[in-house]
């Protein structure tokens, strides 16, 4: 799994129709774009996939469809983590039965477990048998899993990676420096991907790659190959897109960008709503500038 859970993973959005149902025609376009763009991992029903408003029946169908449609062309990491260990186990077992390659398990939100509680949570989910990618995202959960706890959890059988979205470079370095050989750190912050790879991270689970999978995955491959001048050039080319994706709560901006590309309709489930007009204007400006740069490079 160390050699599988690396590269670019896209935290793929969940497209909806006007009636609120899942839009599988749009989903197909998005997955095709990712595969053609060279991403190595697809992550359905993470935060970007509006996980909290997906019903159990929809979750089952999304995982089933994703596994069947991807058909081993990329690693499928199913977002099965919740703040209830029993439910996380149930969803993870379901994802394993449906053929997912791994599970993304967020640190439990709202109930704020202790370090021992976090360890027992991840151990219980890992006991299902599906490889686990832990997910530390303090901005959403209200809880930061520190390096000591992460390293303890990294010793658990079937725990192979962490998506680290704390934006704490010191914490990330501590994990990378002391992790067991089987364990990878993946950036959970798009704009820290290249810096973290330079320090030993093995990739990213990205929001921006929804929109520019080819360019983003090239950046990551350059960085993993030690070609940091090339990676740095792409980093700065994509930086404004990385930033604008968080001008409002994710996935609002990235869904707006994908709608501008004609890939999805811009529908959400409450409590999420469309981004404000001024945010949409800025997203459009960033996309237009990026398109011009990409076209100029293609013609050069």
pLDDT in tens, the chain (300 residues): 778 999 999 999 999 999 999 999 999 999 999 999 999 999 999 999 999 999 999 999 999 999 999 999 999 999 999 999 999 999 999 999 999 999 999 999 999 999 999 999 999 999 999 999 999 999 999 999 999 999 999 999 999 999 999 999 999 999 999 999 999 999 999 999 999 999 999 999 999 999 999 999 999 999 999 999 999 999 999 999 999 999 999 999 999 999 999 999 999 999 999 999 999 999 999 999 999 998 888 877
CA torsion 179→34→242→270, rounded to 10°? Answer: -100
Domains of the chain: 7-226 (3.20.20.70)
Q: Which of 135, 160, 267, 268 is catalytic?
A: 135
Quick check: bond before 251 cis, omega within 30?
yes
Those residues with Cβ within 8 angstroms of residue 158's Cβ, 6 or more apart along the chain or in another chain:
126, 127, 128, 129, 130, 131, 132
Distance from the first to the final alpha carbon of the chain: 39
In angstroms, the CA 216 to CA 277 distance is 27
How many other C-beta atoms lie within 10 A of the C-beta of residue 190? 25
Mark whether 29 is an active-site residue. no
pLDDT value for 298: 80
> Residue 12: what pLDDT?
98
- Which residue is catalytic, options 91, 123, 160, 163? 163
pLDDT given at position 50: 97
- What pLDDT is recorded for position 297? 84
* 34 HSE (CA, 13 A, CB side): 33
Give the integer Cα–Cα distance in Å for 280 and 169: 31
pLDDT at residue number 296: 84
pLDDT at site 138: 97
Question: What pLDDT does 27 receive?
Answer: 98
| 163 in active site | yes
Angle at alpha carbon of residue 49, lines to 47 and 53, rounded to 5°: 85
pLDDT value of residue 272: 96
Helix 56-70 vs helix 85-97: angle between axes, to the nearest 10 degrees? 30
């Amino acid at each position: 799994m160390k050699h599988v859970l690396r590269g670019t993973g896209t935290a793929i959005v969940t497209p909806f129709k006007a009636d609120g149902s899942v839009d599988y025609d749009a989903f197909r376009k998005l997955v095709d774009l990712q595969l053609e763009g060279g991403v190595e991992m697809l992550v359905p029903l993470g935060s970007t996939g509006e996980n909290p408003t997906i019903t159990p029946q929809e979750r089952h169908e999304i995982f089933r469809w994703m596994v069947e449609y991807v058909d081993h062309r990329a690693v499928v990491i199913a977002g099965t983590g919740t703040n209830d260990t029993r439910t996380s186990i149930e969803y993870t077992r379901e994802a394993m039965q449906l053929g997912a390659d791994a599970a993304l398990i967020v640190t439990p939100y709202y109930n704020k477990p202790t370090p021992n509680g976090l360890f027992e949570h991840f151990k219980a989910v890992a006991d299902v048998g599906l490889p686990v990618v832990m997910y530390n995202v303090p901005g959403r959960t209200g809880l930061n899993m520190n390096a000591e706890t992460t390293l303890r959890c990294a010793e658990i059988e079937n725990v192979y990676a962490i998506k680290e979205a704390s934006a704490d470079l010191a914490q990330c370095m501590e994990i990378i420096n002391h992790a067991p050989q089987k364990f990878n750190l993946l950036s959970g912050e798009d704009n820290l991907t290249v810096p973290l790879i330079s320090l030993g991270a093995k990739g990213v689970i990205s929001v921006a790659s929804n929109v520019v999978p080819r360019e983003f995955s090239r950046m990551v491959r350059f960085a993993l190959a030690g070609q940091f001048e090339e990676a740095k050039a792409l980093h700065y080319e994509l930086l404004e897109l990385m930033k604008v994706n968080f001008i409002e709560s994710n996935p609002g901006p990235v869904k707006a960008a994908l709608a501008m590309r004609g890939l999805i309709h811009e529908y959400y489930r409450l409590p999420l709503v469309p981004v404000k007009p001024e945010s949409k204007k800025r997203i459009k400006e960033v996309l237009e500038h990026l398109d011009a740069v990409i076209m100029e490079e293609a013609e050069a």
